[in-house]
Structure 1
Amino acid sequence: MKFLFDLFPVILFFGVFKWGEGHADAAQGLVAQYLSGFMSGSAVAASQAPILLATAVAIVASVAQIGYLLARRKKVDGMLWVSLAIIVVFGGATIYFRDDTFIKWKPTILYWCFGAALVISQLFMKKNLIRVMMEKQVSLPEPVWGRLNLAWTIFFVLMGLLNLYVAFNYAIDIWVNFKLFGTMGLMFAFIIAQSLFLSKYMKDAE
């Protein structure tokens, strides 16, 4: 459930974009009605409307996501705050300038923030964040925790680069599909590979 909750803004972004593609005139009308005050200039082409509308919905969904947690008096993960800040800044720039370049950079910046957090915590705070998140579920030798931390760091760096490659070498609809299904598939594949790697150590512990 937490995984789906974290993906909530991305799923809405995908759904609204796909709806806007199929209803360009309606999407253009909604953008003109609700977003014109946040944009430089006035006229919005029908081809721009789906990404602008999807970006606005993703921003609102991210705010609602954290608002829900705060209202329930639940802890808000630091990375959720980081994600909110990035979507507000880059999504806001996309809407204001009517330029999808900014929202295309958003996943990459987020991945690289994740990677940077792992490296900075390890080097300067002597804290392995992967261990903090997983040590209640599995007991591993100290060197293995270090390898896992490095593996996740490399994964996030590569995911950021892959996002840029898809975003700026393919049509925007392909990038939107990749943003949800491609990244989710790669994440699952990486987690499965990690589980296979860890199974050896779990057997040894037993």
Structure 2
Amino acid sequence: MKLFFDFLPGVLFLGALYLFDIYVATMVIMAAMTLQVLGLLVLRKKVTGMQWFTLAVILAFGAATLVLHNPVFIKWKPTVIYWIFATALLLGPVLFKRNFIQMLMKEQLTLPDHAWSRLNMGWAVFMAALGGLNLWVAYTFSEKTWGLFKVFGVVGLMVVFMVGQLMYFSKYMKSDEPGNEAGNP
């Protein structure tokens, strides 16, 4: 249910883009994200830092799109988010001595330090590439095609990337079943 709740603003954006135009779609995603965060607050659920950050970027870039009547701002929004994440992942170990991917996933995954470093770097490179790919699609294809890519294409790429990473890091994972440790089929 949470996945659907998180995915809903993008689907509403895409629906408004296909039914109306990018300006209506921008208003829809701004409203949907605002209502999503307000709903979490009313239900006394945790609003993550990522949700606050995404809301702020959507409101800022959405407002610029509407006020300046220029869709380039909303098209750049995903790239800005991806590149900020990539930068944070790259600078975290250097400036803060923190591996942010490890901080996010240490409850679900146990890896040696060198594997955490590779995972962090993999995500940083993936986010940087995703930002570039978003711009390429935004400037090469129609707004509706870009909308489809933004909502469904990015999700598909993330799933493929995560499956690839799971396969790569599976050698470090241990099974809960006795006698079935990693590397022991």
Task: Tell me if both proteins adopt one fold, taking TM over 0.5 as the criterion.
Answer: yes
Which of residues 147, 150, 166 in structure 1 aligns to 2:137?
166
**Cα RMSD for the two superposed structures:** 1.6
> Would you identify which runs of 4 or more consecutive aligned residues in structure 1 move more than 4 Å?
none
Task: Give the Cα–Cα distance (whole angstroms) in 2 for the partners of residues 135 and 169 of structure 1.
Answer: 39
Q: Distance in 2 between matches of 1:104 and 1:158?
A: 16
Match of 1:4 in 2: 4
Partner of 2:47: 76
The DSSP-based 3-state class of the residue aligned with 1:132 is helix
Instruction: Tell me whether 1:153 sits opposite 2:128 in the alignment.
Output: no
Give 1:205 deviation, angstroms: 9.6
**What is the CA-CA distance between 1:200 and the residue it aligns to?**
1.3
Quote the Cα distance in structure 1 between the aligned partners of 2:12 and 2:155. 15
TM-score by length of 2: 0.90
**Number of equivalences:** 177
Query: What residue identity is the alignment partner of 2:64?
Result: A
SS at match of 2:107: coil
Structure 2 unaligned spans of 5+: 174-181
Whole-angstrom distance in 2 between the partners of 1:205 and 1:122: 33
Percent of aligned pairs with the same residue? Answer: 42
Q: Which residue of 1 aligns with 2:110?
A: 139
Residues in 1 aligned to 2:38 and 2:98: alpha-carbon distance in whole angstroms: 29
Using the TM superposition, name which of 102-111 and 116-125 deviates more.
116-125
Equivalent in the alignment of 2:37? 66
**Which residue identity is paired with 2:159?**
F
**C-alpha deviation, 1:2, in angstroms:** 2.9
Matching residue of 1:111: 82
Structure 1, unaligned runs of 5 or more: 21-49
Distance 1:118 1:205, change over 3 A: farther
Residues of 2 paired with 1:111 and 1:126: CA distance?
21
Distance in 2 between the 1:205 and 1:19 partners?
Answer: 54
Specify the SS of the correspondent of 2:111.
coil
Q: Cα distance 1:200–1:17, how it changes in 2: closer, same or farther (>3 A)?
A: same
